[in-house]
Amino acid sequence: MHKPLTRQNRFDAAREDAGMLELGVCYYPEQWPREKWDEDARRMVELGLAWVRIGEFAWSHIEPQPGTFQWEWMDEAIEVLGCAGLKVILGTPTAAPPKWLVDRYPDILPVDARGVVRKFGARRHYCFSSRRYRVEAARITEAMVRRYGDNPFVHAWQTDNEYGDHDTIHSYSDEAKLAFREWLAARYGTIEGMNHAWGTQFWSMHYNSFDEVDLPNNLVEEPTPTHLVDYYRFSSDQVKSFNKAQVDIIRRHSPGRPVTHNFMNQNTDFDHYEVGEDIDIASWDVYPMGGLINGRLSAEEKARYLRVGDPDQTAFNHDIYRAVGRGRVWVMEQQPGPVNWAAHNQSPADGMVRLWTWLAYAHGVDMVSYFRWRQAPFAQEQFHAGLLLPNSEVDQGYLEVAQVAEEMARLPQGERRGKAEVAIVLDYESRFATRALPQGQGYAASAIALDWYSAIARLGVDVDVIGQHSDLSGYKLVVAPDLVIPDADFIARLKASGAKALFGPRSGSKTRDMHIPADLPPGPLADLIDFRVTRVESLPEYHSEAVLYGNISHAVTGWRELIRTNETVLATFEGEHRQGGAAIIGNDHTRYVGTLPRGEFLGRLMGDTLRWAGVESLSDLGDLRLARRGNLRFAFNYGNAPASVPASATAEFLVGGRDLAPVDVAIWTETR
């Protein structure tokens, strides 16, 4: 007997039906004449779209003056879209408080690290710590959810928009200072507890009360790293509590509808796992062209991948947000063409919008929404492409979405992304630690982790992203490129899991108070592998060290550790400085790397590590990438030459074929 589809169980039914790809689009009815709405909705449905997101920047249109609400236009927009057959995702409009609110309460504005107030005129102009803004954000959220919580066309909610965009997590306002002091008092209990953790006996930094503590900006030198990491923790907690306040309102007045937030690429300014605990679906905004320009690759590699993007950055983020969403992930904004905000804004190659869509599905995404429906001919984003040109003609992205919609019908429903055999650890506190204490110009933990992920992906192996809280059952290999602050419980569970483990440099190097462990690094990791790090050095790019790994010498730079150990030495440093020092060590279940392998060295290390862990892999795939979702296999060609898909002779191709053209996708099943 089937349950009736009520508000209470609609989300449960959506979970049961998950496994099929749905498409959507971001739309701004307030930006277009009313006479366009019906035609736009009809064309969206004809294209094959099922979802439409609206409302996340609509506050001044909803409440143009204090307490004066104009809902009629939104009522009508939701009616038009819903009656056409579209499911509405309604965004709370708190990412863009209106001018009248800023003028009435100027203390809601954020303050940058120089102490300069960031003014009205764009978006995200609020401080997470402003008590007044929290009241106002809750007020507009409640008004919106009370009005539309039962609306049959509203199927999901998005809180705010892009936490962290344009460096807006960290504010240095008076409100933030007061909130930080309260946070410290709750964390430490006594001022002496904080003094001990911060090491304030150094440089005469002792505090007599929490009321004396300032924010860690505009200092003559750097603050104590514990002060800085605590500020990052505090700022992260402010995001979580701000978001949760909206989620609680939505759950109270719109039960049964899933709640999401659209996170950003490569952002580690706050703990996404913590925010993810309060939402139903993690979504993120996918802009591979800007991600390439701002990313880790060399200038030569960026030129090579200019119109296709970093072959691994987007996939890595899909896997991150699948973890944040506990298995449920959407793309809320998929780039459909050139954008406007990067240092350079190149056009993606024809076919990439289609490729990115299928890449998302292969990595567990259930809904891909394109930003935006029509290119705006005005304001800040008028160079940002949409599915339509400003005059409503179809653009390239529209054609590729139409192709995806046709191809969707060829695939079986109900296929889900399974658990991988390999997991990579992303720990946000450890990222805070390396940001506070990089010990070397240019040290970038996010880029190092992506390098490790990429080296595994190039060997045709799926990877899950996990945190220290995650279930470890089923993994054959856990890799941790930068687990600076390991949790003893995580280490104990890892030891009990039976998985092999590979740790990168700096892992275990700091306590939660940002101190060197009492018995030297690697702290709790010593329960897995017996060694001590007695010295570290960061090396400039113009200098490299040689590491002998097997019978091949590899150049490394950036980081080197002096390791004292009785474990098996798997690689050694060569050269004049301390020749023969251990670079990689290991035992039956754990290995540790005391430098930063890159390129061929990293690829070889990951291949050896996969074999050691009993994980099947392929030879280096070059520009080809593979993924699995249930019984479906996927191949993506990021190169400029045809590639051969490594499918069996009896494979049944549903999309594409064995010979894969550049910027093309193949989807197949293997017969049993």
d(CA 658, CA 355) in angstroms, rounded, equals 16
Does an H or E element contain 368, and which?
Answer: strand 365-370
CB distance 315 to 625 below 8 Å? yes
In the chain, the amino acid numbered 506 is R
Phi, psi dihedral angles at 398 (to 5 degrees) = -60, -45
Chain centre to alpha carbon of residue 140: 28
The tokens for 30 are: 């307030």
Sheet containing 624-629: order of strands: 624-629, 632-637, 665-669, 652-655
The per-residue DSSP string of 228-242 comes to: HHHHHHHHHHHHHHH
Q: In the chain, count of helices (H) and strands (E)?
A: 19, 25
Percent of residues in the chain assigned helix, strand, coil, to nearest 5: 35, 20, 45
Please pick, among 56, 162, 175, 561, the residue that the annotation labels catalytic: 162
In the chain the first and final C-alpha atoms are separated, in Å, by 34
Phi, psi dihedral angles at 464 (to 5 degrees) = -95, 150
In the chain, the amino acid numbered 162 is E
In the chain, the amino acid numbered 148 is Y
d(CA 40, CA 394) in angstroms, rounded, equals 12
Please pick, among 56, 175, 333, 421, the residue that the annotation labels catalytic: 333
Does an H or E element contain 209, and which?
Answer: none
> ∠ at Cα 367 (361, 372), nearest 5°?
115
Crossing angle for the helix pair 599-613 and 445-457, nearest 10 degrees? 60
CB distance 482 to 449 below 8 Å? yes
In this structure, the number of other CB atoms found within 10 A of the CB of residue 389 comes to 15
d(CA 97, CA 133) in angstroms, rounded, equals 9
Crossing angle for the helix pair 396-408 and 352-362, nearest 10 degrees? 40
In this structure, the number of other CB atoms found within 10 A of the CB of residue 255 comes to 15
Phi, psi dihedral angles at 569 (to 5 degrees) = -90, 120
Establish whether 333 is a catalytic residue.
yes
d(CA 181, CA 231) in angstroms, rounded, equals 10
CB distance 289 to 342 below 8 Å? yes
> ∠ at Cα 55 (50, 61), nearest 5°?
145
In the chain, the amino acid numbered 53 is R
d(CA 2, CA 4) in angstroms, rounded, equals 6
In the chain, the amino acid numbered 348 is P
The Cβ-side half-sphere exposure at 473, using a 13 Å CA radius, reads: 1
Cis peptide before 522 (omega within 30 of 0): yes
Catalytic residue numbers, as ranges: 162, 333
